[in-house]
A and B are shown apart, each in its own frame.
Chain A
Amino acid sequence: MKHRENSGQILLIAAFIMASLLLSAQIYILDVGKTTSETETDSLYEYIITIKLGSEHVVTGSLANITNGGQTSILADNLQRWSDFVGAQYRFGKNVLNYTLEENALYSAGIWTHWGISTFGVSSAYASFTYQLSDREVELDQTYPINVTTKLLVRSTYQTLAGNEKQVNVTVNVSNEANPALAKQITIYYRRTETWLAADVTSNYTFVDYGNGTYRARFQADIPSDTVEVSAHVVDQREIYVRANATSTRV
């Protein structure tokens, strides 16, 4: 008789248990589902900057390779890889990245290296890019050039001390894209008869880094000729190699 009187309460308790089970199951599903229902939300503007940045890195890396003894064709090979890589990304629509290597009096296959006897040296790569994006909602056609240039300027003076002993001053200026840049490595050479010798093994060799892309080397060496020729070999922070020769001015 007692059991019959409590059956309604048991029904209510059972309903409460079912309700809490339903709610907790729903909360669990919602919580776990959050990570699986993640969305991809990039902005087109930032995506284009990313492509430009990558293009610049590819050109820089290729120039570093070429100036350190690599084949000139590496620039075209790397850019083709980059174009294919960008084209394989289906972000916002169909991506097409085309490139053209600069061809003019200075550049050949996008590369210009001038490591002659004048006081300046240049290692440069130049490519023009066309990025096209097409989708139902977006239609974009953007052209941008990438020019990576490391330039070196060498100036030198000397004075005769005694006999063939000469004190030589060499000032080196390094720039990246016309802005002063730091070098990773600088080696100064001087010419003695037909041989180029490293200046840093001479006596009294001093080297000053002014921290603004200007470097100054001073050394004493036995140079029989009155024409003192020096050479600076530089590897910049981007691993791009450049060199330039200069004839010292007597002071």
Chain B
Amino acid sequence: MFDRKGQIRIIEAFLAVGVIFSALLISFTFPASPDLAKQKSLAQVGMQALMKLDTNGTLANLVEGQDWTAIKESLDILLPIGVAFNLTVYDENRQQVNLQPIRNSNLLGHESVSVQYICATRNQVVQLFLLRLQLAWTT
């Protein structure tokens, strides 16, 4: 009887070690690096959206006018459904221009990609801006 109890303890201990070991194994097999091809296509979508806005100088003029709502609405239209974005605008001296966030949802918890875009206003007083657009698929 005593011997059998000892064997069960050993089996239980093995089982416990097995459970912890498999938990560690599962945690190490999680994908550590994001899908680069998917990210590249998302970056291209973002870049093309900014380029489309910038073709006739609209983008830089909206930035100059600090019309963040119009920029957000434009990106909402130009970007595919299911893409979350966060745009940060810097001036020529690398100072952040937008004091309020330009985004449609929170990027936290999503694999994101970032593109940088430089643009100039075509007004009589030329201003230069650097835009950093972070994008992520939410679906």
Contacts and interface: CB of A to CB of B under 8 A. Distances in A.
Interface in A92-124: none
Interface size class of B (residues with CB under 8 A): 35 or more
Contact of A37 (B34, B107, B134): B34
Contacts, number: 155
Nearest to B31: A30
B55 interface: yes
Query: Chain A contact residues (Cβ within 8 angstroms of B): what range?
Result: 35 or more
B34 A34 contact: yes
A26 B112 CA distance: 19
A32 B108 contact: yes
Contacts of A43: 40, 43-44, 47
A250 interface: no
A22 to B, nearest CB: 5
B39 A46 contact: no
Interface string B17-58: 101101110110010101010011001100110010011010
A57 B17 contact: no
Contacts of B47: 42-43, 46, 50
B13 interface: yes
Question: Which label, helix, strand, loop or mixed, suits the secondary structure of the A interface?
Answer: helix
A60 B55 CA distance: 13
Contact of A22 (B15, B27, B108, B126): B27
11 contacts: A15-B15, A15-B16, A23-B27, A26-B27, A27-B27, A41-B115, A43-B40, A53-B119, A57-B119, A57-B121, A57-B126
Interface of B: 8-9, 12-13, 15-17, 19-20, 22-24, 26-27, 30, 32, 34, 36, 39-40, 43-44, 47-48, 51, 54-55, 57, 60, 92, 107-126, 128, 130, 134, 136
